[in-house]
Amino acid sequence: MPHDPNELYESTLASAALYLAAGIEPEKSKVFVQSHVSAHAELSWLLNCVTPMNWLERMIQFKDKAKKAGSGTVGAGLLTYPVLMAADILLYQADRVPVGEDQRQHLELARDIVRRFNDLYCKGNPFKKRCKKAGIPSRKSFVEPEAMIMKEGARIMSLSDGTSKMSKSDPNDNSRINVLDPPKVIRDKIKKCKTDAFEGIEWDNPDRPEAKNLLTIFAAVQPDRSRQEITDQVKDMSWGEFKPILADAICAHLEPIQTKYAAIRADEEYLNTVLRDGATAADAVASRTLDSARVAMGFTLRS
């Protein structure tokens, strides 16, 4: 999809700072910019060559976005984006991947690609001979990743429609809570968010998607509280009573993240150091996996 280069530059650094502010420790988990590790693009192309078109055309997110944008304006990158996502995962031999419910289909595609690639290229004596000559173990190139999805809060819905996913691409900013929204903005959005005319507040009534969504958000920002404890607190409340409590809980949860983000984003030298070190570490792992895939497919390695 078309993008603003200036916006991409800023959002790249902002996203990295947010990951760190949210609790990722670069000493334990590497943070890097995808485009700084060229193996992502190369493996994506190799996987594109073994991925049938009809696998990609059935992806729900592609169909939805293509419909909204119009077929004449959709680039090939949108169609093949799930293959790039697969490359992002497979380069690091990840066996479990934390994803939202809406990404389950893309992870299943990654598993399908793994099975197809391994079946096409990673068996038989010629494969073993190529691996031996290249000094690479003669095993399957990729691990099949499993989805790791939270039981609660894996799919947060729009504040303006409890049946649609909350999305940063929604043109209506009031439909979502942004991590960096100031408290006043958060309170305003919660005050205006869609509810219903039923009495009380409950989780599991299929006729009340907004109630379920707002309770899910309330629980997600208070991970130490049980579902039953939350239910007992709010079940007899009106929306007028519940909304300020929900807004307070969201603000309290985001405040330390926002404070830490401001400090990290202000120190661009530190941020760039983290990203550079992360890319160096990631490149070492990704290069080994890419070499394995190259050899499996019959490419010669550069001496």
* Mean pLDDT across 127-138: 91
The catalytic position among 165, 194, 212, 260 is 165
Q: What CATH fold (topology level) applies to the domain 33-149+284-297?
A: Rossmann fold (3.40.50)
Average pLDDT for residues 184-207, to the nearest whole number? 95
Q: For the chain, give the mean pLDDT.
A: 93
Question: Tell me, what's the pLDDT at 84?
Answer: 97
Q: Is the pLDDT of residue 89 over 70?
A: yes
Confirm whether 65 is a catalytic residue. yes
Where do the CATH 3.40.50.620 domains begin and end in the chain?
A: 33-149+284-297
Mean pLDDT across 267-275: 97
- Alpha-carbon distance of 17 to 266, in angstroms, equals 9
Q: In the chain, which segments carry CATH 1.10.240.10?
A: 173-264
Tell me if residue 165 is catalytic: yes
* Residue 207 phi, psi (nearest 5): -85, 0
Q: What does the pLDDT read at residue 71? A: 63
List Cα–Cα distances, 226 to 101, 184, 206, 231, 247, in angstroms: 21, 28, 21, 9, 19
Which residues share a beta bridge with 147?
Answer: 97
Tell me the two tokens of residue 111.
């598993």
Report residue 64's pLDDT band, with 50, 70 and 90 as the boundaries.
confident
pLDDT of 241 higher than 80: yes
pLDDT for the residue 76: 86
Supply the pLDDT for residue 118.
95
Q: What is the pLDDT of residue 266?
A: 97
Does domain 173-264 fall under CATH 3.30.930.10? My reply is no
**pLDDT at 70 exceeding the cut of 90:** no
Instruction: Measure the CA–CA gap between 247 and 242, rounded to whole angstroms.
Output: 9
216-227 pLDDT, tens digit each? 999 999 999 999
Specify whether the CB–CB gap between 233 and 200 falls below 8 A: no
Residue 168 catalytic?
yes
Average pLDDT over residues 112-138: 93
Does the pLDDT of residue 78 top 90, yes or no?
A: no
| Rounded CA separation 233/222 (Å) | 13
The top-scoring range by mean pLDDT among 79-83, 141-145, 259-263 is 259-263
The pTM of the full predicted model, rounded to 2 decimals, is 0.87
Which residue of the set 65, 128, 194, 260 is catalytic? 65
Per-residue pLDDT tens digits for 134-186: 998 888 899 999 999 877 777 899 999 999 999 888 899 999 999 999 999 99
Burial 144-164 (b: 16+ CB within 10 A, else e): ebebebeeeebbbbbbbbbee
How many angstroms separate the CA atoms of 15 and 249, rounded? 23
What average pLDDT score do residues 275-291 get?
97
| Catalytic member of 67, 132, 133, 168 | 168
Q: What is the mean pLDDT of residues 188-208?
A: 95
**For position 99, what pLDDT does the model report?**
87
